[in-house]
Structure 1
Amino acid sequence: MAASLPQQPTSFWRLSRGQRKAFLAAWLGYLLDGFDFILITLVLTEIAEEFDLGLTQAATLISAAFASRWLGGLILGAIGDRYGRKPAMILSILAFSVGSALCGFAWGYWSLFIFRAIVGIGMAGEYGSSATYVMESWPTSMRNRATGFLLSAYPIGTVVAALAYEVIVPSLGWRWLFYVGLVPIALTLYLRRALPEAEEWVRDVGARKEVTTSSALFSAKRRWPNVALSVVLAGGLGLIFSDNAGGFGIALVIIAIIAFCLFAVQLSGKLWPVMFAIMVTVFCAFLYSWPIQSLLPTYLKTELGFDEGSVSTALTWAGLGYAAGCCLAGILGDRLGTRRAYVLGLVVSLAFVFPVFALSSDNILLLWILLFAMQLTSQGISGLLPKYIGDHFPTRLRAAGLGFSYNVGALGGAVAPLLGAAVGEQIGLGNALTLLASTLTITVALIIGLNLPARLGRALRVPSDAPALNHEPAANKQS
């Protein structure tokens, strides 16, 4: 083992041609994912005006994609564990591309809500399949960089979307911005023909049908009960996040939590407490980041009075900061350890949150710089999240484990715009975004810094060959 360590690549250019090609293809897919997903935030005011929606109801259209992501993480993750990371990635791209294009044909609130839910299913699958594909194609010494560099594609996609918004919407209207979402389908043809399967999946899983998450979810005894459970869960979440739960909101939330626990037990067996702890961690992470991600364009247009060009410029600076932060996070993660780098980024980000929302529209250049710095540290550091989550699951469960736990936690992104809008109506949108970002950033820093999910697993003596749980010294070194 010791003799093989020096042979591991230590930079992108020392990777094999196949490893670089795998990364670039996955990176491009994730860029297009970011492009499609962020479109709704750019045209929220235009959609609200056309469909006569209030800010809170319009914000539920952002939440729609988050409310469906658990399903994408569950099904496409299981497909990735059983049939390979590549086919799951291709199906994910098809889902979010078709869903985005359908948004352009929406005739009202509910049609747009459903089409955005389709986008969410595809995005969930893309996150889990792309992250596991790249991690399992790269050497272990570079896996923080693998996920950090990969996730830099998402904010680049948001920058491209912001530029497209500035060019397309003023002349053609908001619907044409969604029609462009069909472009990623062309990428799937390349992926199907040109890419190999992830080496680690082939070696550790391959044709071993009985050890994957698909055998747990889709066995003869569980198939139809799981379908019924999924229908109930999807309907309940749809009512909750469309703000139509009435007096049954609390009951539906309890039912959803129970359903998620049942799926977690099936997917991960005795690892389910660790999976649930990961869900809570990701939920809090989305609550600190997505109020800003989803409502920043609205804040710039309503409270600062920016036009389309100024909003596009602001989002470009923020997106570039996000992308640079993901790359920097990957480098720091491999040098300092995943958890140390993660907590460092979160703590530093607190220095930028307050100034960003305290500035007036007269300080444009300073606002751009602070947005860049804030997203570099707070959002960019999330480039380490796939590595952090993936270390808590063995290879045979990793795609579904990462995809499901991340995307259930991503329901925080569904709550975030609603919470941000509701609090904003009371204290102002800028103050609300500052309060939520700072409070939840500290919460996530404490959870990750104290290594609570892995500590829980070891305290309960959960048997697992997952890196974070296997050996205490190794876990500390890698995370």
Structure 2
Amino acid sequence: MSSNEPAEPIANGIIPVAKQSFADLFRWKMRVEVLNEYGEKRAEWQDPPPIRNPISLFMQLSARDWIFFLVGFFAWVADAFDFHALSIQTVKLSEYFHTSKTDITTAITLTLLLRSVGAAFFGLAGDKFGRKWPMVINMIILGFLQIGTIYSTTYQQFLAVRSLFGLFMGGVYGNAIAMALENCPTDARGLMSGILQQGYSLGYVLAACTNLGVGGETETFKTVFWVGAALSFAVGIIRVFFPESRQFIEARKAGKKATAPSAFWQETKAMLAKEWKMCIYCIILMTWFNYYSHTSQDSYTTFMLEQKELDNAGASRASILMKVGACVGGTIIGYLSQWIGRRRAMVGAALISGFLIPAWILPLGERSLSASGFFMQFFVQGAWGVIPIHLNELSPPAFRSSFPGITYQIGNMISSPSAQIVNAISEKTYVTAPYTGDTVQAYGPVMGVATAIIALGIAVTAALGPEKRGRHFETARIAGTQTIEYVKDVENDAESTKGIGAERIEMSDKKDEAK
């Protein structure tokens, strides 16, 4: 019998869950659902794990764990580099293809729209066949599509290649975070989640450094894409030489062989029937988060070039420092989320970023913009640093590759017009530049208003949503090996949850005591 304080059962239904989650946000202890040997559920209050020395957490990872983490991390870095190679070169590409910056950001919209398709295909492949070969295929094709971008001679070819790029880019995230985090010890997952998510920011930093190195000439955009292709090829080739994820292998051994080829899909449909509300919640949360990052960063270089009238070198340096802040913030706040809670970390970071908006868009000059961008992205990506492990913990255990990837990329799809909206409104709205008195496009005010709305939306959504911090999913079998049991569980779900009241807990205690 547990010595922890009994708690009210985990609520069912959208409104009861929202009320319970909001109340739990102001209670330090965690409400945790546990099972006894009779398979009966009960809820209790548990103390959060004590804050740990990061070095001791790093030491919990074995050499094999580090290999899986680093491969997943660098796959995410290469993926981010490939994406940002376009967003930070919007001005160059508009000049090369003789079109507007808004037209160039159409490619970003198409990329984000099609990422959800790739996430579904490669995520389900990762849950069915393993994390290794779907990732290898993914990264190799991404490299070829970067080369295809270089050799596009018309705007229509450019859009077609970037659409295909989005399709294959979508498959990286789910497999990368599943492979990287499922092998990490439970206590270290908050810290490692924060570091992992900053692969996205590091990819931006590397793309910005490359852009700074090649200069501001129009044709130099091709060099940046060549570097991106090389990174994608390198990660794909390196992944070939390392084994399948240990957790996937052990899960496959623990599960029985599927009785029919359709077992995987039967279990997938059963999971969706049971977890549809969780799916919708995660999609809403990821929609807010993707608007959050794309609105605050995709047009930031353009903002410094057009409204603040910096040169290419100054805007690139400020962008680099901005993303250094993102790397630091994501790591620190992801680490703290293991102690203060996933939702508290997200809510706090989002609200602070909202208060920083005036200091983010009003400064003049490279130094001031670099400092304000650093602190703004510290909290934007600080909130993001919690997301990989939060999605993994909310996922059905057998679908840790597909569930995070699909919900993340559907959120990306819904938020896909974000950069295009910012550019379209900014190009039609004007302010006066303080230094020169020139009439310039109003990127700052547009990004500021949009980011304020989004930050508030994240805070409310996270405050009312579920949290499963510290969830143990190591023993879950792979999808397709527990079809009969899973489908029966779905059919009996409503019946099984009826008895999770005080009487059932009392009965469980009596059985434990008798035993």
1:357 is matched by which residue type in structure 2?
Answer: I
Deviations 1:435-463 (A, max 9, x none): 01011110011101111699xxxxx9995
Normalised by the length of structure 2, the TM-score is 0.73
2:241 corresponds to 1:200: no
The aligned counterpart of 2:291 is 287
1:280 is matched by which residue type in structure 2?
Answer: I
1:189 is matched by which residue type in structure 2?
Answer: I
**Structure 1 residues 210 and 300, CA gap change in structure 2 (3 angstroms):** farther
1:57 is matched by which residue type in structure 2?
Answer: D
Alignment partners' CA distance in 1, 2:159 and 2:106: 8
Alignment partners' CA distance in 1, 2:391 and 2:405: 9
Conserved in 2, the CA contact under 8 Å of 1:390 and 1:398? yes
Task: Give unmatched runs, 5+ long, in structure 2.
Answer: 3-48, 430-441, 469-489, 495-499, 502-515
Deviations 1:422-447 (A, max 9, x none): 33245422111000101111001110
**Structure 1 residues 462 and 383, CA gap change in structure 2 (3 angstroms):** farther
Deviations 1:25-56 (A, max 9, x none): 22222222211110111221121122222232
1:192 is matched by which residue type in structure 2?
Answer: V
The aligned counterpart of 1:443 is 457
1:338-357 to structure 2, matched below 5 A, reads: 338-357=342-361
1:309 is matched by which residue type in structure 2?
Answer: A
Alignment partners' CA distance in 1, 2:382 and 2:165: 23
1:390-469 to structure 2, matched below 5 A, reads: 390-427=392-429, 428-451=442-465, 463=493
1:399 is matched by which residue type in structure 2?
Answer: S
Alignment partners' CA distance in 2, 1:307 and 1:315: 12
**Aligned to 2:394, what secondary structure does the other structure show?**
coil
Give the Å deviation of 1:197: 2.6
The aligned counterpart of 1:126 is 172
Give the Å deviation of 1:269: 2.7
2:447 is matched by which residue type in structure 1?
Answer: L
1:130 is matched by which residue type in structure 2?
Answer: A
Conserved in 1, the CA contact under 8 Å of 2:337 and 2:386? yes
More helix by share: 1
Alignment partners' CA distance in 1, 2:270 and 2:70: 34
Conserved in 1, the CA contact under 8 Å of 2:123 and 2:402? yes
Alignment partners' CA distance in 1, 2:270 and 2:328: 38
2:385 is matched by which residue type in structure 1?
Answer: G
1:371 is matched by which residue type in structure 2?
Answer: G
Deviations 1:364-420 (A, max 9, x none): 322211111100101232021122222222221121111111100112441211221
Alignment partners' CA distance in 1, 2:425 and 2:147: 32
Q: Using the aligned pairs only, state the percent identity.
A: 22
Conserved in 2, the CA contact under 8 Å of 1:211 and 1:396? no
The aligned counterpart of 2:324 is 320
Alignment partners' CA distance in 1, 2:447 and 2:195: 27
Conserved in 2, the CA contact under 8 Å of 1:81 and 1:213? no
Give the Å deviation of 1:339: 1.2
1:370 is matched by which residue type in structure 2?
Answer: S
**Structure 1 residues 306 and 134, CA gap change in structure 2 (3 angstroms):** same
The aligned counterpart of 2:390 is 388
- Equivalent residue in structure 2 for 1:113, among 156, 159, 164: 159
1:182 is matched by which residue type in structure 2?
Answer: A
Q: Which moved more, 1:438-447 or 1:16-25?
A: 16-25
The aligned counterpart of 2:15 is none
**Structure 1 residues 317 and 205, CA gap change in structure 2 (3 angstroms):** same
Give the Å deviation of 1:280: 1.5
1:448 is matched by which residue type in structure 2?
Answer: A
2:150 corresponds to 1:148: no
Normalised by the length of structure 1, the TM-score is 0.79
Give the Å deviation of 1:93: 1.7
Give the Å deviation of 1:210: 4.4
Alignment partners' CA distance in 1, 2:90 and 2:270: 38
Give the Å deviation of 1:81: 0.1
Alignment partners' CA distance in 2, 1:209 and 1:433: 52
**Aligned to 1:137, what secondary structure does the other structure show?**
coil
For the pair shown, which has the larger CA radius of gyration, 1 or 2?
A: 2
**Aligned to 1:174, what secondary structure does the other structure show?**
helix
The aligned counterpart of 1:67 is 113
**Structure 1 residues 208 and 57, CA gap change in structure 2 (3 angstroms):** farther
**Structure 1 residues 390 and 186, CA gap change in structure 2 (3 angstroms):** same
**Structure 1 residues 94 and 180, CA gap change in structure 2 (3 angstroms):** same
2:286 is matched by which residue type in structure 1?
Answer: V
Count of aligned pairs: 410
Conserved in 1, the CA contact under 8 Å of 2:390 and 2:467? no
Alignment partners' CA distance in 2, 1:209 and 1:410: 35
Conserved in 2, the CA contact under 8 Å of 1:96 and 1:122? yes
2:144 corresponds to 1:98: yes
Alignment partners' CA distance in 2, 1:422 and 1:177: 26
2:226 corresponds to 1:179: yes
Conserved in 1, the CA contact under 8 Å of 2:336 and 2:345? yes
Deviations 1:164-193 (A, max 9, x none): 112224465212221222212123222111
**Aligned to 1:359, what secondary structure does the other structure show?**
coil
2:345 corresponds to 1:297: no
**Structure 1 residues 200 and 394, CA gap change in structure 2 (3 angstroms):** farther
**Aligned to 1:52, what secondary structure does the other structure show?**
coil
Q: Aligned Cα RMSD in Å? A: 3.0
1:276 is matched by which residue type in structure 2?
Answer: I
2:221 is matched by which residue type in structure 1?
Answer: W
Q: Which moved more, 1:442-451 or 1:409-418?
A: 409-418
Conserved in 1, the CA contact under 8 Å of 2:115 and 2:170? yes
**Aligned to 1:304, what secondary structure does the other structure show?**
coil
**Structure 1 residues 145 and 379, CA gap change in structure 2 (3 angstroms):** same
- Equivalent residue in structure 2 for 1:35, among 71, 81, 86: 81
2:341 is matched by which residue type in structure 1?
Answer: G
Give the Å deviation of 1:87: 2.2
2:457 is matched by which residue type in structure 1?
Answer: T
Alignment partners' CA distance in 2, 1:336 and 1:85: 31
Alignment partners' CA distance in 1, 2:400 and 2:79: 21
Alignment partners' CA distance in 2, 1:173 and 1:442: 39
The aligned counterpart of 1:309 is 313
Conserved in 2, the CA contact under 8 Å of 1:169 and 1:176? no
